[in-house]
Amino acid sequence: MADSTANPPCRDVIELALELPLARFSLRVAVRLGDGVTAIMGPSGSGKTSLLEAVAGLRPKTRGRIALDGTVLLDSATGVRLRPERRRVGYVPQGAGLFPHITAMGNVRFGARGAESRVRAAIECLELTPLLGRYPATLSGGEKQRVALARSLASNPRLLLLDEPLAALDVGLRERVVPYLLRIHEEWKVPVLYVTHNVGEALDLAEAVLLLREGTVEAYGPALEMLSRPAMARAAEAGIENLRHGRIIAHDEAGGTTRVLLDDGQILAIPLSSSRRPGDAVNLAIRAEDVLLAVERLHGLSARNIVEARIVAIDRVGRDALLRCRPGSESGPERRPWLVRITPSAVGSLGLTSGQEVWLAIKSHSVRLL
């Protein structure tokens, strides 16, 4: 089984030494995870959801050992295999998974254990009181996710498993739900395994990152350290993040920006970072949905970074389109492509095709310094 050599950043409470046969490979994970929020990352199809389902007890073919803070949930060698309802694991699958025929209050109460105070605390933590009498069909995406989280908390879990809880939400909704996730961890002191493709979410929420690839642990360690590693850059490129490495070249105090020379020769303006000195190495992250695309040369735009590029691929990612756009001219040096996430309707209305010349606009405040 794959193992991790990195030192975990928190007290170890989750022991995983499991194997689960899947269609393309066997999921083999051997690692000890801490008591904080651990982001589970990696390319699509690497086994992230299957790992959560195995921990939750939803994959009966799982073998090996799973223990949570000393309580054994699975041990094939001794015949221990707790049923899902006895594991006290709160699982929020993709899409919230609410029961459509009962109200938000009914969903929260479903499976609740212990005192009524636990249910009320979950409702108050996630500010659900105005929604309790409504049915899931009348709730927004963010409201459904909050109800699903409250249902998990009301079950008095020892561990929360969250499978891309923000993936179906637009940027505005995501930014409103993230504070609730932070509050859950801070107030309830429950360890969390959090599947995400989004580097920004991992930075906001997680103390540690576990990177899966083809069913094995490629790396595990503190979030800030992990998110600057080449392995994570490859994983982010498969998802919706642009990760770039470069060096500080100058500060513009009056203009409020810092200039960064990327490894491929491009220069980006980022928010002023006076604490970094010229020459310092830095890692940058830009969400694919924060990159604007135009089919004509841009003029009079407030965005400080304009990149001339050419579309090299257009793929479908969930409900959106993911464009790979290689900067520079065809005769110039080979440069790493930028990822741009837009709607399929935008692809159609702009008449975008592979090989087309485009211009990318990146606001300096869309660039996150890792």
Calpha distance 311→357 (Å, rounded) = 7
- Exposed (0-12), middle (13-18) or buried (19+): which is 326, by Cβ within 10 Å? middle
Contacts of 70 (CB under 8 A, 6+ apart): none
Calpha distance 186→145 (Å, rounded) = 18
Q: How many residues does the chain have?
A: 370
pLDDT at 19: 97
Q: What is the pLDDT of residues 303-333, one digit of tens each?
A: 789 999 999 888 776 677 888 899 976 655 6
- Exposed (0-12), middle (13-18) or buried (19+): which is 230, by Cβ within 10 Å? exposed
* pTM score above 0.75: no
- Closest by Cα among 180, 241, 187 to 209: 241
pLDDT class for 170, splitting at 50, 70, 90? low
Question: Quick one: how far is CA 39 from the chain centroid?
Answer: 7
Calpha distance 75→130 (Å, rounded) = 44
Calpha distance 52→288 (Å, rounded) = 26
- Closest by Cα among 130, 125, 172 to 151: 125
Q: What is the pLDDT of residues 256-294, one digit of tens each?
A: 999 999 988 889 999 999 889 999 988 788 888 899 999
Calpha distance 96→167 (Å, rounded) = 11
